[in-house]
Amino acid sequence: MELTDKQLCIAYEGLVQGAVCLDEHLLQGVWVYVESAMLARNIARETYLRIEHLQSPQCYVRMSSLMPIDFFGTNDNPKNDSPCRDANFKPIVLKVCELIPHEDAYPEQRWHIQRVFTACEVASAIEALLVLLADTQQFPSCSVCEQRYPRSFLDSDRICEDCCYELLGGE
């Protein structure tokens, strides 16, 4: 699926806000892929994506790989591409967090697998990540701070926990 410029900007904003945590196998490749897409489309931005943005401990989307991914064609050993030959081996996993509320306790975080990909499908995995982040139905904005969260992170008035705390007089 080809992202529109608007969808790419929404996804980019989510990345800059720390919505995602990528493991070391995907980090640099995703960063280069996303920045290249922004440059190729001549999309101006106030903030540039940094590696730190893609390693947020407060993320609600995770993407990881069981193996290193050769994004830049530096793998000179053809035997190392064997996972690509096995369509059943899908090392790249895309997950989304859901908050499960509990009475008198902190909400429980549950991670749900959205999709899995083979190592050869890394571009499709990144596209799926961006499409997911651009989905305003699945990730609406807080009506106060306008940060985007999964629906389960917002209350019935579409207010995030941080803004609820501030509105109720927290410091």
Contacts (Cβ under 8 Å, ≥6 apart) of 137:
none
Block residue for tokens 């529109």: 4
**What is the reported pLDDT for 165?**
79
Q: What is the pLDDT at residue 171? A: 45
Per-residue pLDDT, 12: 96
How far from 17 is each of 13, 60, 68, 82, 83, CA to CA, in Å?
Answer: 6, 11, 26, 36, 33
- Sequence-separated (6 or more) residues with CB below 8 Å from residue 40: none
Residues in the chain: 171
Which residues of the chain fall below pLDDT 50? Answer: 171
- What per-residue confidence (pLDDT) applies to 76? 57
pLDDT of residue 85: 64
Q: Which pTM was predicted?
A: 0.85
Please name which of 43, 58, 55 lies closest in space to residue 10, comparing C-alpha atoms.
Answer: 43
- The DSSP code for 66 is S
- Phi then psi for 26, rounded to 5 degrees? -115, -20
